[in-house]
Amino acid sequence: MPPGDASESAHTRQTTQVRGKQAFEAVEPTFDSPRISDGPAMWDIAANAGALDVNSRYAYLLWCRDFADTTVVARDADDRLAGFLTGYRRPQAPDTFFTWQVAVGDGHRRRGLARRMLDHVVGALRPQGVRFVEATVTPDNKASIRLFESFAEANDATMRVDVLFSERELGSGHEPELLHRIGPLD
């Protein structure tokens, strides 16, 4: 994805309200496209996320090389990776952005990071004709389901849910992967 706008290009210190309860000083993360050197940290976050199919390090390195334009990483104040969202435009349906994996490091969760990464990448792709967002989620992944519901609500878009890959196809006791398809976006 193209680099973020000027407001995202520098770390800014600001007061953040967390769920209306507590105000605290926080350093805002920055969002940009991954570099190949981000691959190992992406692999680390995926391996520690708990709910992801972890791919090889090679896969993350290759992703950073070839799909950087449709991938976003969030960096903390120390320039360490706080989270990532990988995705691509479907070759047969380029109006559709498929979210492959999204993960946020433990210490950064529930602060809107995943939502902002999704907003960031989809916002950059909308001018290129993207009108639908897809992701597969297993039925027990409440955080991920809520993430995509929240995105659909904010965009006043409908979300359809269908089985994409069944337990039989995935094997090894893997839960089914339910396709969440959001859109059309205005």
Ligand X SMILES: CC(C)(COP(=O)(O)OP(=O)(O)OC[C@H]1O[C@@H](n2cnc3c(N)ncnc32)[C@H](O)[C@@H]1OP(=O)(O)O)[C@@H](O)C(=O)NCCC(=O)NCCS
Within 34-53, which residues bind ligand X (CB under 6 A)?
49-52
Q: Give the binding range for ligand X (CB under 6 A) out of 30-38, 64-72, 138-146, 168-176.
A: 138-146
Does residue 142 interact with ligand X by CB under 6 A? yes
144 is a contact residue toward ligand X (CB under 6 A): yes
Asked if 141 is part of the footprint of ligand X (rule: CB under 6 A), the reply reads yes
Tell me: does residue 81 bind ligand X (CB under 6 A). Answer: no
Using the rule CB under 6 A, which residue among 72, 103, 124, 152 binds ligand X?
103
Which stretch of DSSP H or E encloses residue 179?
Answer: strand 177-182
101 binds ligand X (CB under 6 A): yes
Half-sphere exposure of 51 (CA within 13 A, CB side): 18
Query: Restricting to residues 61-80, which ones interact with ligand X according to CB under 6 A?
Result: none
Query: Rounded CA gap, 68 and 3, in Å?
Result: 10
55 part of the interface to ligand X, by CB under 6 A:
no
Residue 115 makes contact with ligand X by CB under 6 A: yes
In angstroms, the CA 141 to CA 114 distance is 14
Phi then psi for residue 57, to 5 deg, are -55, -40
Q: Which helix (H) or strand (E) holds 25?
A: strand 22-27
Show the CA angle centred on residue 27, arms to residues 57 and 143, nearest 5°: 55
Please tell me whether residue 13 binds ligand X under the rule CB under 6 A.
no
- Please write down the HEC assignment for all residues of 78-111: CCCEEEEEEEEEECCEEEEEEEEEEEECHHHCCC
Nearer to ligand X, 104 or 130 (CB): 104
What CA–CA distance (Å, rounded) separates 42 from 38?
A: 6
Which of 87, 89, 111, 132 is in the footprint of ligand X by CB under 6 A? 111
How near is the Cβ of 3 to ligand X at its closest, in Å? 21
Q: Residue numbers of the site for ligand X (CB under 6 A)?
A: 49-52, 101-104, 109-115, 137, 141-144, 146-147, 150
